[in-house]
Amino acid sequence: MARYPIVLLFCLLLPGVLQAAPVAIALHGGAGTLTRDKMTTEQELAYLQILDTAVELGHARLQAGARGAEVVREVIRLMEDSPLFNAGFGAVFTWDGRHELDASIMLGESLRAGAVAGVTRVKNPIEAAYAVMEASPHVLLSGSGADAFAEGQGLDLVDNQYFSTPERTRALERYRATQVESESAKFGTVGVVVLDAEGNLAAGTSTGGMTGKRWGRIGDSPLIGSGTYADNSSCAVSATGHGEFFIRWQVASDICARVKYQKVYLQAAATHVIHQELTQAGGDGGVVAVDPRGNVAMVFNTEGMYRASVNGVGEKVVAIFRDEPATGSGVADDG
């Protein structure tokens, strides 16, 4: 008769044993966005729609068992192909009227990473970054060498003017006349962080840089530790903002280090770095991050950040401005 309580206990525990491993995703389309009073209803709806499409795509792929690196690439490709963001098609112009694009990717399981800077012909720079990680002994390739490497890997190449849009052309004209970058063009970097069903973290970031940049300027997005970082023992982070500050303060790796060594929660680590370290230094921007338990943090010190997430318990957020949405349990969303 003693076996029956054991069988009953096993039946009670079975649902938990069979429960699928948590997956999570967070993404951004840039911080330092237009203020609410300057954004039309049509613009807001367009951004919310692409953010929702991107996060739904990524979450569905994770639930289906896709590896983190594949999801990061797929979602960033979707955003690179949208003219709404400063990455890929729709990237901003340099002072000389061309496009120089940067991207990076990192895997938390192995700390392997790949990045490209200043590419001019690669249709989807995130694919070039992934190829550097997978098919070269290096982490970062730049300029014409990175373009040549991408061509040798069979990646899709385009004429540089493929990336141009009328809005970015007008932004360059305004910048040349005033030396002031428009709010809509400031921080349109895209980034994705994920926790996959195997418990592995991954992060990726892609950008066209800053309007009117000169002399081959490179920001934080292709720099591992500054704009992108992933480590299964702590977290995965993708950043967006004024790259010079994110480089000097090593924002992405600093957040992960605080989680790993100080044993603080992801939200606390991200909030400290963005709202104290970065803000006190005069740097604008934000991050999206995820930890091995599926907790999500989306923290920024600007008027808004294009962002979306689904955390490990399935709670979804899609938002633009600082005062939205209300934070759900398990989701850190602190402007």
Catalytic residues: 189
Chain centroid to CA 211: 19
DSSP one-letter code for 220: S
DSSP one-letter code for 291: -
- How would you class 246 by CB atoms within 10 Å of its CB: exposed for 0-12, middle for 13-18, buried for 19 or more? buried
**Which of 219, 247, 229 has the alpha carbon at shortest distance from 288?**
229
**Which of 223, 243, 189, 211 has the alpha carbon at shortest distance from 79?**
189
- Residue 157 CB partners (closer than 8 Å, separation 6+): 121, 122, 123, 147, 150, 151
Which tokens is 110 given? 């192995």
Which tokens is 292 given? 């091995």
